[in-house]
Amino acid sequence: MKGTLELHQVQCPALAGNALGDPVERPCAVYLPPGYAGSQARYPVVVFLHAFLGSAVSWLSVSPFSPTVPERLDHLIAEAGLPPCIGVFPDGWTALGGSQWANSVATGRYRDAVVKDVLGWLEARFRTVPRREARAVVGRSSGGYGGWQLVRHHPDVFGHLAAHSGDAYFEYCFLPDFPKASGALLKAGGVEAWWQGFVARTRATKMAGEDHAVVNALAMAAAFSPKAGEPLGIELPFELETGALRPAVWERWLSEDPVRFVAQQPAPFVALSTLFIDCGTRDEFGLRWGARMLERTLARAGAAVTHEEYEDGHMGTSYRFEASLRLLLPRLARG
């Protein structure tokens, strides 16, 4: 690597007192481009949001034969000649496996942790260009979803967005898990009983394949339908006894679906200087269709959106960050 990759610990006051008791001090990786230390130049910032069950340090995990995302970013800048940037990789892990980068009473204020705590720390410590035109947010899966939410709520902070296989059109990406989750929770005797058994089992051995549907449903409920006083502080969108949808709770989820909120309020996304969406044609969670819906909605609203599809599934597609970075790095404001 020609640039420098640093791992820091960042205090996130936004997470103080979170209901899960997760740490307030979080790991945060920072990529500095070649020449940073020997110059006085200021650099634009790309914020990378990890997927569900990921963390800040998971960006550093080596896969056989494949570069990490920081290594891909370094190659694009040091070898391919793209304009340099600072890359920041915050941590959105929770005891439930992920935060969806949302502000929730069930998990903590993770959106605020990124925008206020991590970016505030980064801009105080490193030479950044502190303007929305010089900031991009990119992510994959739940990280791609988080990008939609960050731009939605903070259009004054980010001028560029890339959503790789982001959660969208909840009927396809979440509904199929509900029967599986309902059966497992019913068999265990409820949310708390299943969760206690899961924690004990994974500490003793490992997470099983059939656990993912349940963990995913619980974590998404923590983001989309928190409710104080309920087990894990969440309200499920389905009944355990029958598996039937609970319409009022499900509507809370749908209000947080990018397909819905982008259509209702497209202005923050139309104003972006770069808007990149992609998904694999064989995505196992049906996210291809949500991406297509978003592209159509945004194009009709007048957004300059780039939409790509590629022959692959959902997992192991971090190589796709190169496609969005090639597009947005030259568009980031400088100076």
pLDDT digits (tens, 9 = 90+) for 294-308: 999 999 999 999 999
Residue 335 binned pLDDT confidence (cut-offs 50, 70, 90): confident
In CATH, what number is assigned to the domain containing residue 133? 3.40.50.1820
Q: How far is residue 234's CA from residue 226's CA, in Å, rounded to a whole number? A: 4
Mean pLDDT (whole number) for 249-267:
98
What local confidence, expressed as pLDDT, does residue 195 receive? 97
Are 146 and 295 contained in the same domain?
A: yes
Are 151 and 50 contained in the same domain?
A: yes
Question: Can you name the residues that pair with 28 across neighbouring β-strands?
Answer: 8
Are 202 and 325 contained in the same domain?
A: no
CB neighbour burial string for 198-235, b if at least 16 within 10 angstroms, e if fewer: beeeeeeeeeeeebbbbbbbbbbbbbbbbbeeebbbbb
pLDDT digits (tens, 9 = 90+) for 176-226: 999 999 999 999 999 999 999 999 999 999 999 999 999 999 999 999 999
Are 110 and 27 contained in the same domain?
A: yes
Q: State which residues form the domain around 120.
A: 4-168+263-331
What local confidence, expressed as pLDDT, does residue 297 receive? 98
Domain boundary among 209, 234, 254: 254
Q: How far is residue 102's CA from residue 279's CA, in Å, rounded to a whole number? A: 22
Are 307 and 190 contained in the same domain?
A: no
Are 152 and 200 contained in the same domain?
A: no
Owner of token pair 């190659």:
75
Are 66 and 91 contained in the same domain?
A: yes
Average pLDDT, the chain: 97
Res. 62: pLDDT tops 90: no
Are 314 and 186 contained in the same domain?
A: no
Judged by phi (left if over 0) then psi (alpha if -120 to 50, else beta), residue 129 lies in: beta
Q: How many domains would you assign to the chain? A: 2
Residue 24 binned pLDDT confidence (cut-offs 50, 70, 90): very high
Q: Find, among 212, 187, 177, 176, the residue nearest to 96 by Cα.
A: 212
Domain boundary among 209, 236, 254: 254
Please report the DSSP string for 147-190 in residue order.
HHHHHHH-TTT-SEEEEES----HHHHTTTHHHHHHHHHHHHTS
User: How many residues are recorded in the chain?
Assistant: 335
Q: How far is residue 149's CA from residue 261's CA, in Å, rounded to a whole number? A: 9
- For helices 247-254 and 211-224, give the axis angle rounded to 10 degrees: 80
Res. 156: pLDDT tops 90: yes
Q: Find, among 124, 133, 175, the residue nearest to 271 by Cα.
A: 133
Domain boundary among 193, 219, 254: 254
Are 160 and 176 contained in the same domain?
A: no
Contact of 234 with 106, CB cutoff 8 Å: yes
Are 213 and 154 contained in the same domain?
A: no
Q: How far is residue 335's CA from residue 163's CA, in Å, rounded to a whole number? A: 26
Are 93 and 222 contained in the same domain?
A: no
Are 95 and 164 contained in the same domain?
A: yes
